[in-house]
Chains A and B, each alone.
Chain A
């Protein structure tokens, strides 16, 4: 769809960026030592750090990804919210205080605290860099996705803009500015999500949703007069029937009216043609949206209820519920039918047409698991589908407490108890936010605001349907979610290179000043790499990329953290091998999975070595087995003594 630029949104966005840069330059003057740069001097108050944790964690995947997935798949999108929050239980109960006690600037410090092993320093840094890079890609892609509706700029401009602003944030004041930017963003995100949810509930549900920006496109049907073989006749004489196109599952009728071709789904049992949306790829490389150039703006937004409480709208009178509460909206959706949209690509002569067709789904199915993750064998789920689901939920659970950009935030507070308290603040803020994602997602699903070409835009478009002021605010916040998370990731990556690799692994004996300088230069380099990745992976799905980042983090870091804390016989060799096995196994599975073959390499019809795509369920056990076996083979009494110190 085409997006018109809102001057209000641009103004709020510019104010936001100016505020963020002001914070960065303000703290730059106070950032003198390496402790200031990498750990904000260890002096951040736990309540500020807690909201900053939420700011770090509520990335593009949480806000854009979950709302988009709930809007597309209902409850299955909410599974991410459940898994993302569950991961914080591991962080609070197991990791928070020991991480603060053992480390100084980076997660590698904690791993290496009692070993002083070059291998751990190297592998910890490599793991931090790789996990941060995998996590950076979806954030940058998210930035590109957002900048189009907000500022009317192309994807690449969004990526470059985020890159430049983030480099400015990180290269000026490191962790101090990053923390306050996260705090700022985290607070605004939660407040405005609450406002948006309130507006969704006050608007209620309707078969023809009211929108503040443009009128909702009411879907039409055409009556079929007769069907014989491939000949279809319709009642409406203003349309000319061009032919019948059959795919494996559907029959489409191509019609012609006012010099425009359109594709309709043939609903033979009801004897009607149903409206579709199409994107036609012409042989010359150009595209038509619903039969016309994109600039004609004919590609409309969708998503509505077709029946509420068993009543189907007839004629021009829509059925509306009026204001609802958090309980009644669930009940109304559960007892209704929602028009979701599915798509397939069909061939028409030399043209390839992506047809988005209506897929009415009962509310009970929307609010139950199974629309995205097939887990029920009775509905055709294979063992691979079920394996993938369990693996994803495991990755989300164990991955959070293994993400380097989350772990380094424990060094910004003054003590282990402050680390624990800040985790509690983060959990409180995020629990509240994740409950709201279900309502925002369902609001987008039924509010006639979905752009079928971009499911990451559900939340901002929902805001746009509600009011332009809140759209401006939500868009600016959504953009800032990316800014904040990318800053955190870049601080983590720059710590890994300047502190773990240059200072400690290569023993370059950097002075405090040089260490800060090295961190700033690294931040600029990593920022530039992130910009390139954001442009290269433009078409990747944000949520699945984040699922991979969690899986890589869980497989490579989690077993080492747990075993160092709870098993006295853990050795440096065990930790090193465990990280290597975790990284290699998860990357091999991701790179050679069926999903990657199909959606990244475009190898349609080629069977990949791994049918499943989320590596956590293989990588985590393998990494645990490795650390146990190697530690048993290499342990010496001195190692046992060293690690017992950590445990006690």
Chain B
């Protein structure tokens, strides 16, 4: 039995490389902010209790991490999708 993927699709190595590089950059950005949350918890726990409006730093940072995840995910997908469409258009020409 062959050991290829279950389905076939068109590949573009340059595009894949660019998407992978953008993915790594986004991953590093999120990791730094996530690590910041953990480090503040461990090394300056009292900072988490500082009030910001109705919330405190813990809730703002926690909600922020969830919302940031969503924003970065949408941005990454949009950039990748645009790049895929551009490649497809230039491929057809």
Contacts and interface: CB of A to CB of B under 8 A. Distances in A.
Interface of A: 35, 38-39, 41-43, 75, 78-79, 81-82, 85-86, 88-90, 92-94, 97-98, 100-105, 109, 113, 116, 327-328, 330-331, 334, 364, 367-370, 375-376, 378-379, 386, 389-390, 393, 397, 411, 414-417, 420-421, 423-424, 427-428, 431, 434-435, 438, 503-504, 509-510, 512, 515, 565-566, 648
Given A82-B62, A328-B54, A414-B7, 4 more contacts: A90-B27, A390-B38, A417-B80, A504-B3
Given A327-B54, A420-B80, A424-B73, A105 B6 contact: yes
A370 B46 CA distance: 10
Contacts of B92: none
20 contacts: A42-B5, A82-B66, A86-B34, A89-B69, A89-B72, A97-B16, A97-B19, A97-B20, A98-B20, A101-B16, A104-B4, A104-B5, A104-B6, A330-B59, A334-B56, A375-B42, A375-B45, A379-B45, A416-B16, A504-B3
Interface string B15-31: 01101100110110011
Interface of B: 1, 3-7, 9, 11, 13, 16-17, 19-20, 23-24, 26-27, 30-31, 34, 37-38, 41-42, 45-46, 48-49, 51, 53-56, 58-59, 62-63, 65-67, 69-70, 72-74, 76-77, 80-81, 84
Given A42-B6, A327-B54, A416-B9, A82 B37 contact: yes
Contacts of A113: 3
A75 B65 CA distance: 14
B40 to A, nearest CB: 9
Contacts, number: 160
A367 B56 contact: yes
Of A41, A105, A116, A431, which is in contact with the most chain B CB atoms at under 10 Å from its CB? A431
Q: Which 3 A-B pairs have the closest CB atoms?
A: A42-B7, A42-B6, A376-B45
Nearest to B27: A93
B3 to A, nearest CB: 6
A502 B3 CA distance: 15
Contacts of B6: 35, 38-39, 41-42, 104-105, 411
Nearest to B57: A368
A82 B3 contact: no
A368 B77 contact: no
A566 B17 CA distance: 11
A364 B1 CA distance: 61
A331 B70 CA distance: 25
A94 B62 contact: no
Contact of B30 (A86, A370, A416, A434): A86
Given A389-B42, A417-B80, A367 B59 contact: yes
A370 B47 CA distance: 12
Contacts of B53: 327
A85 B58 contact: no
Nearest to A423: B73
Contacts of A510: 1
Contact of A427 (B42, B59, B73, B84): B73
A416 to B, nearest CB: 7
A92 B7 contact: no
Nearest to B45: A376
A39 B7 CA distance: 10
Contacts of B73: 88-89, 92, 423-424, 427-428
B46 to A, nearest CB: 7
Contacts of B74: 424, 428
A94 B31 CA distance: 12
Contacts of A424: 73-74, 76-77
B30 A89 contact: yes
Given A330-B59, A431-B70, A389 B41 contact: yes
Nearest to B44: A376
Contact of B55 (A93, A330, A435): A330
A484 B27 CA distance: 29
A416 B69 CA distance: 20
Contact of B49 (A81, A93, A368, A434): A368
Contacts of A427: 69-70, 73
B38 A393 contact: yes
A111 to B, nearest CB: 12
Contacts of B69: 85-86, 88-89, 427, 431
A104 B5 CA distance: 4
Of A88, A89, A334, A565, which is in contact with the most chain B CB atoms at under 10 Å from its CB? A89
Nearest to A377: B45
A415 B30 contact: no
Contacts of B3: 104, 109, 113, 116, 504
Contacts of A566: 24
Nearest to A415: B9
B18 to A, nearest CB: 12
Contacts of A109: 3
A368 B56 contact: yes
Contacts of B26: 89, 93
A604 B22 CA distance: 51
Given A86-B34, A375-B42, A431 B66 contact: yes
A428 B70 contact: yes
Contacts of B13: 648
Of B13, B26, B69, which is in contact with the most chain A CB atoms at under 10 Å from its CB? B69
